[in-house]
Structure 1
Amino acid sequence: MNTLVCTAYILSQPKLKRLKSECLCYMLVSLYNFRDDMVNLNAIAFAKSTIAKKVFSLYNQKNNVIIEGTIYIKKIPFTKNHNIKSKKI
């Protein structure tokens, strides 16, 4: 995993779930890409415990936020010649 600090645009309304007595907030965000010829990256952002409650109560869809955390990219084998990358923040 790598550390990450970036600005993001919230694409979906944050959702709050409870999993084994721990709060979990997740949302779809768009990360700005600084290269001119590439599109923005869409990723799923997660927050746990008390931070999840704060994120859920403070932010809405179409807000700009600054994200600090770790990024995890998982390659999913699709067929013999193709791989799909799943991004989670």
Structure 2
Amino acid sequence: MNIFVFTAYLLSQPKLIKIKHQNFCYMSVSLNNFLDNMANIKIKVFAKGKIARQVFDLYKEKNTVIIESSIYIKKTRFLNKNKKKRK
């Protein structure tokens, strides 16, 4: 498992969903790209359980947060303009 620690800027308000007595929270964040002259990286972040509830309760607009988590990267490989294949 990969552990990932980063500083992120919150782009959207967290959305809290409750499924079978389990809290889930998701939102969009922006990662600063210090290495290249490229734009910032925008990603979706998911949380569950107590952490999801805390994120939802402590949210303030335009906050910057430090996140420590595991990371899952979904790889896709493009064959041509119309078809894409998952790896």
Superposed pair shares fold, TM > 0.5: yes
How many residues are matched? 83
CA distance in 1, matches of 2:76, 2:18: 27
- For structure 2, list consecutive stretches of 5 or more residues without a partner in the other structure: none
Partner residue in 1 for 2:74: 74
RMSD over aligned CA atoms reads 2.0
Instruction: State yes or no: 1:23 paired with 2:23.
Output: yes
More strand by share: 1
- Alpha-carbon offset, residue 71 of structure 1: 1.4
Query: In the alignment, which residue of structure 1 is the partner of 2:2?
Result: 2
Q: Normalising by the residue count of structure 2, what TM-score does the alignment of the two structures yield?
A: 0.82
Give the unaligned 5+ runs of structure 1: 85-89
Instruction: Find the structure with the greater CA-based Rg.
Output: 2
SS of the residue corresponding to residue 74 of structure 1 reads: coil
Runs of at least 4 residues of structure 1 off by over 6 A?
A: none
Write the mapping of 1:50-65 to structure 2, written as runs, cut at 5 A.
50-65=50-65
